[in-house]
Amino acid sequence: MHELKVESSFSAAHHLLNYNGECENQHGHNWKVEIYIRGSELDKSNLLVDFKILKKELNEVLKTLDHKDINTLDDFKDISPSSEMISKYIYVKLKDKIPQIHKVSVWETEHACASYFEE
């Protein structure tokens, strides 16, 4: 089994719904995103997926979030845009384009992240 990881980032604002504390107020993060790909089948070049393709597809999804108020996006209407939900959003958007996707991790600080994967 092989595993690949690429990283990228985006900046955006959000606020949590149904939350009692500072994060109920609008605030921003410089989010780091990691995507993990797994598989055992390599192509003729012995690649699982070309890193260029992974970075391109990830950055296309992140453009939908970058410099936005995440709460105002259609995909997050009436949903608290926690790191957990943002990691799921990115995973779902990438799943059709990169079938080998295993996990998406979203870091809102250098010490705290949330990941989404399907079993």
Given a contact cutoff of 8 angstroms between Cβ atoms, the answer to whether 80 and 71 are in contact is no
pLDDT at 51: 98
Rounded CA gap, 22 and 53, in Å? 38
Q: What is the mean pLDDT of residues 10-37?
A: 96
What confidence category does residue 50 fall into, taking pLDDT thresholds of 50, 70 and 90? Answer: very high
- The sheet carrying 27-39 orders its strands as 2-14, 27-39, 101-109, 112-117
Q: Write out pLDDT tens, residues 66-113.
A: 999 999 999 999 999 999 999 999 999 999 999 999 999 999 999 999
Name, in order, each residue with C-beta under 8 angstroms of 54's C-beta and a sequence gap of 6 or more. 4, 6, 35, 37, 98
pLDDT at 119: 85
Q: What is the mean pLDDT of residues 10-39?
A: 96
The mean predicted confidence, pLDDT, of the chain is: 97
Name which of 35, 7, 6, 9 is nearest 108 in CA terms: 9
Give the count of domains, the chain: 1
Q: 32: domain range?
A: 2-117
Q: What is the mean pLDDT of residues 40-64?
A: 97
Percent of the chain with pLDDT over 90: 99
